[in-house]
């Protein structure tokens, strides 16, 4: 019988790619999510019955344990960028990760992969970075042989980074960014999924791996590359951290007063994170040790950012038509 993996947060941006990859590798996949009815799209990743979305609340022991029953391995992809109600950084990223590992140890599940993030630091000012580190510690406390994957900012067709900023160019001639000189090492989501598969299927993979793509660029340089791809001219304006903190405060206040109807474009915690470079540390193990050659952004971004061009899919045709002679 094929092996079974439970993927917590398996319908999210990164999780869905891991789920698809594990299904192609022949595993049965249980996708544990808060709203299974909104995760039906994962079912065609495999043959009938191979991939199933199931209800799970990562804050509840019984819920986590139920969807793990009979699993040969678990992957935790659950993470949040902004807290919402009971889903706080501590309850989800710190306590939730530790809960999955503790119950896995109780059930005799030996293989676990924790999706963390570059910059995870127990002493960080940012709650996001701090709880990511606490989650890692909680996992390793219960499962010392677990694999921790720390990706830099992840890009792909459903990402909330390039898609978000490309969408902003439709409404304004100015593209404001916080931390224009902060460096990133964007990593393709499919490469992260390949790393997760390697972590489960190979016996020589354990410990922490930092995952970054082949290119290191500043925030400003990333926006410039994006603008070239979508063929729009915009002014990339750096927003000083002091002003960004004020904007984040009032944006957060607006979100609170509207009960979340109006979403804050940036939070105070994100401003703290943007002060630090998000690149692979010197001497850290990464894709090379996993035998994976990461994909470059220039090979992927045009495949999904074309829709933000002034004429969308017709942009290339219009450019070609300019070269026609009467």
Q: In order of start, what are the domains of the chain with their CATH numbers?
A: 4-154+186-212+279-294 (3.40.50.720)
Q: Global pTM?
A: 0.93
In angstroms, what CA-CA distances link 287 with 151, 198, 207, 217?
A: 10, 10, 13, 18
In angstroms, what CA-CA distances link 58 with 86, 278, 302?
A: 11, 27, 36
Cβ atoms 210, 177 nearer than 8 A: no
Q: Residues 55-113: pLDDT tens digits?
A: 999 999 999 999 999 999 999 999 999 888 899 999 999 999 999 999 999 999 999 99
Lowest mean pLDDT among 11-15, 173-177, 248-252: 248-252
Rounded Cα gap, residues 147 and 209, in angstroms:
8
Give the angle 9-10-15 at the CA atoms, nearest 5°. 100
Rounded Cα gap, residues 115 and 133, in angstroms:
11
Average pLDDT, the chain: 94
Q: Residues 18-67: pLDDT tens digits?
A: 999 999 999 999 999 999 999 999 999 999 999 999 999 999 999 999 99
3-state secondary structure of 259: coil
Give the angle 163-42-114 at the CA atoms, nearest 5°. 75
Residue 283 has a pLDDT of: 93
- Considering the chain, what percentage of its residues have pLDDT values greater than 90? 88
3-state secondary structure of 87: strand
Lowest mean pLDDT among 105-109, 182-186, 256-260, 285-289: 256-260
Q: How confident is the model at residue 314 (pLDDT cuts 50, 70, 90)?
A: low
Q: How confident is the model at residue 311 (pLDDT cuts 50, 70, 90)?
A: confident
Residue 79 has a pLDDT of: 95
Rounded Cα gap, residues 138 and 67, in angstroms:
20
Tokens 């990333």: give the residue: 222
Q: Residues 169-219: pLDDT tens digits?
A: 999 999 999 999 999 999 999 999 999 999 999 999 999 999 999 999 999
């Amino acid at each position: 019988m094929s092996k079974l993996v439970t993927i917590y947060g398996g319908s999210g941006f990164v999780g869905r790619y891991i789920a698809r990859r594990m299904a192609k590798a022949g595993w049965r996949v249980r996708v544990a999510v808060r709203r299974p009815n909104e995760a039906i799209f994962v079912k065609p990743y495999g043959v009938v019955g191979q991939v199933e979305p199931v209800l799970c609340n990562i804050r509840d022991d019984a819920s986590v344990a139920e969807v793990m029953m009979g699993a040969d391995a678990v992957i935790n992809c659950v993470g949040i960028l902004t807290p919402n109600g009971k889903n706080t950084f501590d309850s989800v990223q710190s306590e939730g990760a530790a809960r999955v590992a503790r119950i896995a140890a109780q059930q005799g599940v030996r293989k676990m992969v924790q999706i963390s993030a570059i910059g995870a630091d127990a002493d960080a000012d940012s709650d996001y970075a701090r709880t990511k580190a606490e989650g890692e510690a909680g996992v390793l406390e219960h499962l010392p042989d677990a694999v921790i994957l720390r990706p830099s900012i992840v890009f792909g067709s459903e990402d909330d980074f390039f898609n978000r900023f490309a969408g902003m160019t439709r409404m304004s001639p100015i593209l404001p960014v916080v931390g224009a000189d902060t460096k990133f090492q964007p990593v393709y989501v499919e490469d992260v999924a390949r790393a997760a598969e390697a972590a489960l299927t190979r016996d020589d993979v354990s410990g922490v791996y930092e995952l970054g793509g082949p290119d290191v660029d500043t925030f400003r340089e990333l926006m410039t590359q994006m603008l070239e791809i979508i063929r729009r001219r915009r002014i990339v304006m750096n927003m000083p951290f002091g002003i960004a903190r004020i904007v984040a405060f009032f944006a957060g206040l607006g979100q609170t007063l509207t009960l979340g109807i109006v979403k804050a474009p940036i939070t105070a915690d994100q401003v703290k994170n943007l002060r630090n470079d998000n690149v692979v540390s010197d001497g850290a193990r990464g894709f090379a040790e996993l035998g994976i050659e990461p994909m470059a952004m220039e090979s992927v971004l045009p495949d999904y950012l074309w829709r933000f061009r002034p004429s969308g899919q017709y942009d290339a045709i219009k450019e070609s038509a300019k070269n026609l002679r009467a």
